[in-house]
Amino acid sequence: MTESTNTSPDAGSSTFVLPPGFAVLAEDPRLGPSMVSSLEQVEVQLREAVANSDPFADTTSRHLVEAGGKRIRPLLTLLASHLGPEEAGEKVIQSAVVVELTHLATLYHDDVMDEAPYRRGAPTAHEIWGNSVAVLTGDLIFARASSLVSALGGPALAIQARTFERLCLGQLHETVGPAEGQDPLEHYLSVIADKTGSLIAASGQFGALFSGAGQDVIDIMVEYGEKVGIAFQLADDVIDVTGLQEKSGKTPGTDLREGVPTLPVLLLRRAAAGGDADAAAVLELVERDLSSDEALAEAVAALRASPVTDEAWAVARGWSEEAVQALAPLPDSVVKEALASFARAVVNREV
């Protein structure tokens, strides 16, 4: 999915371009301008939230905010806020800021653990200031998110606490790997449900909650968000093999080189273990030393041509369609159509 364009209002422009999947929303004469205006408010408050009187902390905290981003989680919060009877107010904007702050904080931590050199086209914080500063900056941003959510009341604080717990558990389970006897694919799906699905689910949950929607609608947004988050990450897995660098912003095979057991590799291992000789031959290429560009390119090409890549796309699209099906009880509306369109757009990013 292409990055949305956003520019800080105080940078001389306040234009947001809604990302792919939200065309129906952008074309709506009422909701389109409302969403863009709300996103502008989120961006202003996001920058205010990371500002710090300490010059060094201010610089490190602003690093990823100023690098841009899709702002998908705030967008889902804002969109879900149109599912209830109440007009979107300050609590919706503030909760949208909370979910993006939480996401940003996890990125500081993830980049340290993954030893990632770049994020959003810029050097990662740990590359500039070291691991300790990057981790502490992530903690500082988590603290700001906690401060903001505490003002939103007990239900919001409970959502944030549960989400934070799942984010930590997801990272922990990814780090230690599957337990003895546990299916690696089931383990992986549980990890991404926690690491990615939980926060996207919370984003929709906040928006529905603060719009005065009924519990049935809130529950729908939780289920939808969880499944969209899983679909999004699974699509990223396949793009690592099939995507073009200039389109995806990521060098093909990055996950392979880092030894990350993503969906195509897990399916490849399953096929090889089942006696598929072709899969075993590809697995041998994938699991060898990939430090050279030539070895990496050969492994990527072999995996890309393997049937498991199409199988991986099918799995990702299955989760996307489950997310769309979760929306079925909602009455037909532009908001419902936009949510369904977005769920399908996250798995249509082959290049």
Residue 265: what pLDDT?
Answer: 96
Pairing of strands 122-123, 118-119: antiparallel
7 pLDDT above the threshold of 90: no
pLDDT tens, position by position, 120-152: 778 888 988 888 999 999 999 999 999 999 999
Q: Mind listing the pLDDT tens digit for each residue in 258-316?
A: 888 899 999 999 999 999 999 999 999 999 999 999 999 999 999 999 999 999 999 99
Give the per-residue pLDDT at 21.
74
Provide the pairing of β-strand 5-6 with 16-17: antiparallel
- The label of the residue with tokens 């679909």 reads 231
Place of tokens 């546990």: 182
Is the pLDDT at 11 greater than 60? The verdict is no
Work out the burial of residue 21: count CB atoms within 10 Å of its CB; fewer than 13 is exposed, 13-18 middle, 19 or more buried.
buried
Alpha carbon 340 to chain centroid, angstroms: 17
| Cβ neighbours around 172 below 10 Å, total | 11
